[in-house]
C-alpha cells in the first residue's frame, strides 16, 4: 500500500490490507509502556533483512526468504542458551502489542498469529511480511537508520542467527551506563521546550511527527538567525536553507 506524507503526518492508523489489520503509528507514550530499550531491540528484529548479514551468510541463505530466516530465529529462541536472542524476540513481541493494540501475538511455525476477543485470528506470514516491513519502516523512520553486517551460522541452533546482530549497538545497550536508553524521551522534552507545548502533548506525537517538527524547527531557527544576522550587517555567511522546503523527498 502506498503511504504518503499526509497520511503519516495525520497520525492516523495505517491500513495493512494484506493482513486485514490496521497498524498503529507509535508515539513516545506508546513506547513508554515497553521501554525504549525494548522498542529498539524489538523493531530492529521485526525489520529483519538478509541484507544485514555478511556476504557469506547471505550466500548460504540465498534460497530462504527474510521471513523464513526471521521465523527460524523466533521459533528457536526458547530452545537455545543465547539470552541476547531471547531478549530480542521477547522485545519484538512487546513491540507487536503496541503496533496492534488489543491484539495478542503468538509465535507459530507458519507465522505470528494475532488474536483478539470476538475477532477472527490474523497473522503475519510469508505473504504479507514485506508489506508489514514497508509500513513499519515508514512510521518508525527505519530507513533513516543504518545497520551493520552480522554473522549468521545456519548450521547451529536456529536462533543463534542474531547473536552478533548489530554488535556495536548491542554493546551500547548492554554496557553499564548505556543500559539506559533515552532517545525519544529526550526528543519529546526538546520539542516541548522549543515549540512551547505541554510535554504531554508532544508525548502523543507520532515518531514521524516528532521527526518532522524537529527538522522543520531546526530549519526555521537557522533561517531566523541568518536573517537577523544579515539585518545587523553580518557578511560572509552561508545562505540559510528555505525552511519551508520539502523535507520528506
Per-residue pLDDT tens digits for 134-143: 999 999 999 8
Q: For 80, which DSSP code?
A: S
Instruction: Report percent pLDDT > 70 for the chain.
Output: 83
- Please name every residue paired with 115 in a beta bridge, in sequence order, or none if there are none: 104
For 28-65, write each residue's pLDDT tens digit: 999 999 999 999 999 999 999 988 788 888 888 888 99
Instruction: Report percent pLDDT > 90 for the chain.
Output: 56
Is the Cβ–Cβ distance between 168 and 150 less than 8 Å?
no
Residues 6+ apart with CB under 8 A from 155: none
Task: State the Cα angle at 103 between 133 and 138, rounded to 5°.
Answer: 25
For 79-122, write each residue's pLDDT tens digit: 766 688 899 999 999 999 999 999 999 999 899 999 999 999 99
- What pLDDT score does 146 carry? 42
Is the Cβ–Cβ distance between 180 and 82 less than 8 Å?
no
Quote the distance between the C-alpha of residue 57 and its chain's center. Answer: 24
For 149-172, write each residue's pLDDT tens digit: 333 333 333 333 333 443 444 455
Q: What is the DSSP string of 10-31?
A: HTPPEEEGGGTEEEPPP-HHHH
Reported pTM: 0.81
- What pLDDT score does 81 carry? 66
Is the Cβ–Cβ distance between 113 and 105 less than 8 Å?
yes
Q: From edge to edge, which strands make up the β-sheet containing 122-124?
A: 104-108, 111-115, 122-124
82: helix, coil or strand?
coil
Q: How far apart are the first and last CA of the chain?
A: 18
208: helix, coil or strand?
helix
Is the Cβ–Cβ distance between 221 and 193 less than 8 Å?
no
pLDDT tier at 175 (50, 70, 90 boundaries)? low
Residues 6+ apart with CB under 8 A from 145: none
Phi, then psi, of 53 in degrees rounded to 5: -90, 165
Task: State the Cα angle at 169 between 167 and 171, rounded to 5°.
Answer: 70
Is the Cβ–Cβ distance between 54 and 164 less than 8 Å?
no
Amino acid at each position: 500500500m502506498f503511504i504518503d506524507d499526509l497520511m503519516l503526518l495525520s497520525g492516523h492508523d495505517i491500513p495493512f490490507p494484506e493482513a486485514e489489520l490496521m497498524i498503529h503509528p507509535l508515539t513516545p507514550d506508546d513506547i513508554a509502556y515497553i521501554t525504549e530499550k525494548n522498542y529498539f531491540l524489538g523493531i530492529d528484529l521485526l525489520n529483519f533483512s538478509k541484507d544485514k548479514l555478511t556476504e557469506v551468510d547471505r550466500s548460504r541463505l540465498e534460497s530462504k526468504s527474510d521471513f523464513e530466516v526471521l521465523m527460524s530465529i523466533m521459533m528457536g529462541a526458547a530452545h537455545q542458551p543465547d539470552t541476547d536472542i531471547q531478549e530480542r524476540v521477547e522485545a519484538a513481541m512487546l513491540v507487536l502489542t503496541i503496533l496492534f493494540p488489543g491484539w495478542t501475538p503468538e509465535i507459530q511455525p507458519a507465522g505470528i498469529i494475532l488474536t483478539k476477543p470476538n475477532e477472527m485470528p490474523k497473522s503475519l506470514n510469508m505473504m504479507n511480511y514485506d508489506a508489514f516491513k514497508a509500513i513499519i519502516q515508514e512510521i518508525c523512520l527505519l530507513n533513516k537508520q543504518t545497520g551493520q553486517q552480522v554473522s549468521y551460522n545456519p548450521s547451529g541452533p536456529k536462533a543463534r542467527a542474531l547473536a552478533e546482530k548489530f554488535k556495536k549497538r548491542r554493546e551500547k545497550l548492554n554496557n553499564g551506563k548505556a543500559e539506559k536508553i533515552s532517545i525519544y524521551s529526550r526528543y519529546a522534552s526538546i520539542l516541548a521546550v522549543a515549540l512551547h507545548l505541554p510535554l504531554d502533548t508532544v508525548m502523543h506525537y507520532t515518531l514521524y511527527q516528532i521527526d518532522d517538527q524537529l527538522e522543520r524547527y531546526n530549519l526555521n531557527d537557522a533561517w531566523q538567525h541568518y536573517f537577523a544576522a544579515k539585518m545587523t550587517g553580518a557578511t560572509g555567511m552561508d545562505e540559510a536553507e528555505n525552511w519551508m522546503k520539502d523535507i520528506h523527498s
